[in-house]
């Protein structure tokens, strides 16, 4: 990448000080700070929109089931669209695809708000939310920039992927807290508008940056399902889908916990606590970069079901706030290791598309988890949704462990 030379990374060292110095050196690399900060705002919908839609529809219809369907439609459509958007990025470049999808997303969320205010039936809200699933593919775009920006330095790219995972968790911290504050003083509709404005600004800043404008992919690799020819990619997808189901169930269960305890904002705060633990785990992972990423990934995907199960032990509100950071501690490191493995097993020329497939599997799982979790909450209670999520995420462990040789 043309421009000023990258700041050198400190030599490998086990100390926390040297590990933190890696993060500082990374952020001093020309172009990194802008794309990191702008991606933080551009990805706010990931941490807030499904929650705001859930509460928006629940408030309008009185049903968590209806709210779960609408938020599931958003997650499912974004999952289905993501690989195709990633393929477009590999063929056309980042900036035109990011700008076009940002325009579509703004129009679609605006339609959801208009239909909701008019008292439209649930099915129309589901359709509008599905069209809103055309997100700008910021996450795969960002991950595709690390190699060119960092000169394919494996250790620095690994630190960058850890930073990426931490940034995503900051979205899941700041997004729900922003939503909770707006819920308390205004409404879920106001939260949707605020997030939409911030995210659109972040997308414009990212898409207009020099690294994003200069990035060129490999033109896509063969037919639309070429990425799936890699056995390692299929293994990562088998792992990501059940993990997404668990996270989708949590996204519905924790707001339901809050309603049961008399304040819907409790759920948003609990999701933020989950993300605090995840961000802390991501920082620890980035500071002490493991030598064997495959073994670390296998350990993390095995630990996730136990963390989800821990949430079911919550009783009073304070216990949920105490347990959520512990439960979330493996999420960001799991994301970082998953992303690094994706770069290794993806077919040549399909880097953005490969990241998009992993995101699709995760988002598809979230949509299923949100819909099923809403039904379980309506039929039983919030705890039933958590237990179901823990059971399904255990399938990710089984699938990945039985196919671990494909990740070598």
pLDDT of residue 386: 93
Query: Mutual orientation of helices 231-260 and 64-92 as an angle, nearest 10°?
Result: 150
Three-class HEC string of the chain: CCCCCCCCCCCCCCCHHHHHHHHHHHHHCCCHHHHHHHHHHHCHHHHHHHHHHHHHHHHHHCCHHHHHHHHHHHHHHHHHHHHHHHHHHHHHCHHHHHHHHHHHHHHHHHHHHHHHHCCCCHHHHHHHHHHCCCCCCHHHHHHHHHHHHHCCCHHHHHHHHHHHHHHHHHHHHHHHHHHHHHHHHCCHHHHHHHHHHHHHHHHHHHHCCHHHHHCCCCCCCCCCCHHHHCHHHHHHHHHHHHHHHHHHHHHHHHHHHHHHCCCCHHHHHHHHHHHHHHHHHHHHHHHCCCCCHHHHHHHHHHHHHHHHHHHCCCCCHHHHHHHHHHHHCCHHHHHHHHHHHHHHHCCCCCHHHHHHHHHHHHHHHHHHHHHHHHHHHHHCCHHHHHHHHHHHHHHHHHHHHHCHHHHC
- Written as six digits, the tokens of 312 are 């079911």
Q: State pLDDT tens for residues 250-285.
A: 988 988 888 888 776 788 788 888 888 888 888 887
- Written as six digits, the tokens of 221 are 């690799």
pLDDT of residue 9: 44
Domain spanning 21-407, CATH architecture: Up-down Bundle (1.20)
φ, ψ (nearest 5 deg) of residue 288? -115, 75
**From CA 373, how far away is CA 130, in angstroms rounded?**
19
pLDDT of residue 224: 61
Q: Using alpha carbons only, give the angle 248, 254, 258 rounded to the nearest 5 degrees.
A: 150
- Written as six digits, the tokens of 189 are 């509709």
Query: Mutual orientation of helices 122-131 and 44-61 as an angle, nearest 10°?
Result: 170
**From CA 351, how far away is CA 87, in angstroms rounded?**
9
pLDDT of residue 10: 45
CB-based contact 37:188 (threshold 8 Å): no
330 alpha carbon, distance to own chain's centre: 14
Residue segments in the chain with a per-residue pLDDT below the cut of 50: 1-15
pLDDT of residue 289: 66
- Written as six digits, the tokens of 152 are 């394919």
> Residues with Cβ < 8 Å from 119, sequence gap 6 or more?
60
Burial of 379 (C-beta count, 10 Å sphere; 0-12/13-18/19+): exposed
Domain boundaries, the chain: 21-407
pLDDT of residue 223: 58
């Amino acid at each position: 990448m043309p421009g000023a030379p990258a700041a050198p990374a400190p030599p490998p060292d086990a100390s926390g000080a040297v590990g933190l110095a890696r993060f500082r050196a990374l952020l001093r690399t020309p172009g990194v700070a802008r794309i990191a900060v702008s991606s933080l705002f551009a990805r706010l919908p990931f941490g807030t929109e499904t929650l705001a839609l859930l509460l928006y529809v629940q408030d309008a219809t009185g049903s968590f089931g209806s709210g779960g369907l609408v938020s599931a439609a958003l997650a499912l459509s974004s999952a289905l669209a993501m690989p195709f958007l990633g393929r477009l990025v590999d063929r056309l470049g980042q900036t035109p695809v990011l700008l076009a999808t940002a325009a579509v997303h703004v129009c679609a969320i605006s339609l959801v708000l208009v239909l909701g205010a008019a008292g439209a039936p649930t099915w129309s809200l589901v359709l509008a939310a599905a069209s809103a699933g055309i997100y700008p593919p910021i996450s795969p775009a960002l991950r595709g920039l690390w190699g060119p920006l960092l000169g394919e330095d494996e250790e620095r790219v690994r630190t960058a992927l850890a930073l990426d995972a931490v940034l995503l968790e900051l979205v899941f911290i700041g997004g729900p807290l922003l939503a909770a504050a707006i819920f308390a003083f205004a409404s879920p509709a106001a939260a949707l508008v605020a997030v939409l404005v911030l995210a659109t600004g972040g997308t414009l800043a990212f898409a207009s940056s020099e690294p994003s404008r200069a990035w060129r992919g490999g033109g896509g690799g063969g037919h639309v399902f070429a990425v799936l020819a890699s056995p390692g990619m299929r293994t990562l997808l088998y792992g990501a889908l059940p993990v997404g189901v668990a996270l989708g169930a949590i996204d519905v269960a924790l707001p339901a916990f809050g309603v049961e305890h008399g304040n819907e904002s409790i759920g948003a705060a609990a999701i933020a606590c989950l993300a605090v633990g995840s961000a802390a785990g991501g920082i620890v992972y980035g500071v002490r970069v493991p030598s064997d990423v495959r073994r670390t990934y296998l350990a993390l995907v095995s630990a996730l079901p136990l963390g989800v199960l821990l949430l079911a032990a919550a009783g009073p509100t304070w216990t949920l706030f105490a347990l959520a950071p512990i439960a979330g501690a493996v999420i960001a490191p799991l994301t970082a290791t998953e992303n690094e493995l994706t770069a290794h097993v993806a077919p040549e020329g399909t880097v953005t598309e490969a990241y998009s497939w992993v995101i699709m599997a995760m988002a598809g799982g979230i949509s299923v988890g949100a819909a099923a979790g809403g039904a379980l909450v309506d039929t039983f209670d919030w705890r039933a949704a958590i237990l179901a999520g823990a059971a399904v995420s255990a399938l990710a462990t089984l699938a990945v462990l039985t196919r671990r040789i494909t990740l070598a």
